Structure 1
Amino acid sequence: MVRLSSVMKLLIAAAGAGSLAAGSALAQDGEAQEAHYRLFVGDHEQGIVRAVEVGDGASAGEFRIDQTPALYPSTSGKTVFAVQGDAGKVAVISTGILFEDHGDHADLRIEDARLLPTVIEGTKPAHVIEGSGTIAVFDDGSGDVQLFPESQVLEGSFAPRTLSAGPAHHGLAAPMGDFTVVSVPDEDPEAPRVGLKVIDADGNQVGDIVECPAVHGQAQSARVFAFGCRDGIVFATPGRDSSAPELEHVSTADLGEDNVSTLKGGIAMQFFLGNYGPSAVVLIEPGSDAMFRKVELPTRRVDFALDPARPRNAFILTEDGQLHRLDVLTGEIEESARVTEPYSMDGHWRDPRPRLAVAGEHVAITDPRQGLVRLVSTDTLKEERTIAVEGVPFTITAVGGSGAVH
């Protein structure tokens, strides 16, 4: 018998209530309701991002940049940040999917996607993290953090606030109100990070450094950030009365060897899904008596994604080409199906392998060898159709939702 935590029991109603994807809401009676999803696909061989309409597979734009990008969508879905670390640039794409909130519903407006004139530059920009209405771009090459609201890149008025998190290192920065949680490097710049600290709006450290060996991976859920460490998880919880965030390290030793280094955060429910070594994932519920639930996979994991519209669903692709639907409430894999040919995890970590994005009723899966994006039903895990994409489709993100159309 599967036992749900008290928090999950309270949230299960929300999970079944329907879509809470970006911009998704119920329209007022008598108004037309439309769903629209757009994919942004990064090419593995060239500096190109291609926008594709999920509905009919039509091109929504092709944007030439400097190198193969990592793609980060904003919380609003208005922009996608295309990080090109070795080129020292971050390009910004306006997705053309816009939602106007009216309380009980949202209006949907669809425009052309376009490459914005603003280019964020640095020595080696890496992670893009959003929190409290602020976007942070961490520069591995300098240790600096650029902080700005999304409106600055949309309006062409880019004027970031720059803080130093310390010496150059492969790090991260997570905005939390007037504060930012940043990684702390080792004295040896080639060694892994040693922990996390909080800095204020002037870059001054607040409180003590919290140990988080080899910190890597972060996500936010219900205003709480989680960070992966070699020996556990650090949670960053907003402080009371505008005070600094509180950092707490929780050990994952009871889960056995391996660690968390990639995290996704729930939207309608507060939970995190992380990797745990190559062949398992772990469900993380802050504050619960059973905080960690490890889920073993049949083979090594290639990629995983959460479903924003159906919060209890997570999807995991393993190297044997199987897609698994995980019920995050029960912690059980409830269905699996073969969706691609096998993609071994042996070889370089940057080799072209499939990536996942959830777009409404479909899991969109890039298939680099075949030059396709496969659209698989979230309900049946059956492939419904494919979209041919030029080049070598690799990284992918989905933007969209449903709203009233006047």
Structure 2
Amino acid sequence: MKIIRSYRNLGAVVALSTSVALLAACSSEAGTEAESVETTAETAAAQSHSEPQPRLATSYDGGVLILDAATLETVEDISGIEGFTRLNPAGDGRHLFVSGSGAFTALDASTWTDSSQSYTSTPALTDIEFDATTPGHVVRHDGKTVLFDDGTGKVEMFESAALLKGSKPEVESYTTPEAHHGVAVALSDGSLLTTIGNEDERTGIVVLDADRKEIARNEECPGVHGEAVAADETVVVGCEDGVLIYRDGEIRKVQSPDAYGRIGNQAGDEDSRILLGDYKSDPDAELERPTRVSLTDTATGELTLVDLGTSYTFRSLGRGPDGDAIVLGTDGALHIIDVDTKAVAETIPVVDAWEEPVKWQEPRPALFVQGGTAYVSDPAGNSVHAVDLATGEVSTSGELAHTPIELTGVTG
């Protein structure tokens, strides 16, 4: 089924499907400088602000809620989205990708900055779509956004900031030899890292240069899954028995301390050489509820396990503004790990204790960190909470009209 587009309540704002181009805006996510542009019909109709206005997005069964990140009030309820959807920032500070049946569709969160002036308007789904049989991972790095179609192995890459022009960006495409649930990362030298696999197994990664000739390959990574970028443009992917670390043309395998020690979800910080990952050690579990997370030093290859004393899920991992590792536990608290001491430095209660549902698509509390704030969704209470990481206090809470599933945001 296709995503049903919604342009509700746009009022005086010029519709996104017109020929009026969206102005180029600056964004810390895109890493581009703002361009000076004349006032357009869009900015004239928008509300102006003296500083950027970050917004959050949370999916629910049938739509997406856009929230003001400061007040947690609902800005817009974009309904009529059929099927299970996933949300990812597009990388330009303004758009999000809604991954639904048959496409990656850009959602305009309608918050942006032009030079020193910021603007907000009414969010809406756009006509910018990238067809995909089974939309998978969305990766942002070095000003580029990479989309991976699990159904075909097609990889599409484009400049993240190009989305700000309001039309579908020019893309570079590559297709893996066999389709699989995979991921790809575009690097600053033009090279491309992709996973290796097929519908039966996933075995490792390959790195191709700018001409798409092979640079490096490693197929000693059973069940390869996920990616993160650490300091010095170091790319890490998880395996069922450790991780693969790629940097400067070489791939290094770091073995887990257990024969089966799966690291399938990672949270990186491009200013830190330490990678936060999950850690599962029971290959026979129908649903393992792990209590340990992994910290991998991508420079030395040292892998350390930290026991939280509580379980967590794949939506529980984040990084703080100072590189701290943050994990949302099923005890309802944020566990702040000092990556230097490899120990929990602080525990911040946020929501009531909860249990991970068996089906991964089912709602459960989710963590999203932006700047110095950690946002935690609470499906049990149809709410979301903002935690000031500097003070360790819940600074704001907001009620939601729907039960939240995924949680993410844009900087504006």
TM-score > 0.5, shorter chain as reference:
yes
Q: Distance in 2 between matches of 1:396 and 1:146?
A: 24
Q: Are 1:299 and 2:310 matched, yes or no?
A: yes
Are 1:94 and 1:154, in contact at CA under 8 Å, matched by a contact in 2? no
The residue identity in structure 2 corresponding to 1:366 is: S
Deviations 1:103-149 (Å, cap 9, x if unpaired)?
A: xxxx4623324433201111111011123332211111111111222
Q: 1:170 Cα deviation (Å)?
A: 0.9
**Which runs of no fewer than 5 residues in structure 2 stay unpaired?**
1-27, 32-48, 281-289
> 2:191 maps to what in 1?
179
Q: 1:67 Cα deviation (Å)?
A: 3.2
Are 1:144 and 1:166, in contact at CA under 8 Å, matched by a contact in 2? no
2:155 to 137, 145, 150: 145
Q: Distance in 2 between matches of 1:400 and 1:250?
A: 34
Q: Distance in 2 between matches of 1:336 and 1:172?
A: 33
Deviations 1:343-401 (Å, cap 9, x if unpaired)?
A: 21252222210101124443211111211012233244433331111111121113328
**Cα–Cα, structure 1 residues 218 and 331, in superposed 2: closer, same or farther, change >3 Å?**
same
Query: What RMSD in Å do the two structures reach over aligned CA positions?
Result: 2.7
Secondary structure, aligned partner of 1:153 = helix
Q: 1:233 Cα deviation (Å)?
A: 1.1
Q: Distance in 1 between matches of 2:352 and 2:120?
A: 36
Secondary structure, aligned partner of 1:62 = strand
Are 1:218 and 1:228, in contact at CA under 8 Å, matched by a contact in 2? yes
Are 1:210 and 1:248, in contact at CA under 8 Å, matched by a contact in 2? no
> 2:57 maps to what in 1?
40
Q: Distance in 2 between matches of 1:214 and 1:346?
A: 22
Q: Distance in 2 between matches of 1:276 and 1:208?
A: 24
Q: Are 1:276 and 2:279 matched, yes or no?
A: yes
Q: Distance in 2 between matches of 1:282 and 1:99?
A: 37
Compute the TM-score of the two structures, normalised by the length of structure 1. 0.79
Secondary structure, aligned partner of 2:406 = strand
> 1:404 maps to what in 2?
none
Q: Count how many residue pairs are aligned between Structure 1 and Structure 2.
A: 354
The residue identity in structure 1 corresponding to 2:170 is: A
**Cα–Cα, structure 1 residues 157 and 374, in superposed 2: closer, same or farther, change >3 Å?**
closer
The residue identity in structure 2 corresponding to 1:92 is: A
Secondary structure, aligned partner of 1:311 = coil
Of 176-185 and 136-145, the range deviating more from structure 2:
176-185
> 1:233 maps to what in 2?
243
Q: Are 1:396 and 2:399 matched, yes or no?
A: no
Deviations 1:44-66 (Å, cap 9, x if unpaired)?
A: x21x1211112223333333433
> 2:255 maps to what in 1?
251
Q: Distance in 2 between matches of 1:154 and 1:382?
A: 35
**Which runs of no fewer than 5 residues in structure 1 stay unpaired?**
1-20, 25-31, 102-106, 240-244, 402-406
> 2:388 maps to what in 1?
377
1:128 to 121, 134, 138: 138
Are 2:53 and 2:120, in contact at CA under 8 Å, matched by a contact in 1? no
Q: Are 1:70 and 2:86 matched, yes or no?
A: yes
**Cα–Cα, structure 1 residues 197 and 267, in superposed 2: closer, same or farther, change >3 Å?**
closer
Secondary structure, aligned partner of 2:163 = helix
Compute the TM-score of the two structures, normalised by the length of structure 2. 0.78
Equivalences for 1:321-340 in 2 at 5 Å? Answer: 321-340=332-351
> 2:11 maps to what in 1?
none
Q: Distance in 2 between matches of 1:36 and 1:344?
A: 34
Q: Are 1:60 and 2:64 matched, yes or no?
A: no
The percentage of aligned residue pairs carrying the same residue is 24
Q: 1:256 Cα deviation (Å)?
A: 6.5
Q: Are 1:195 and 2:204 matched, yes or no?
A: yes
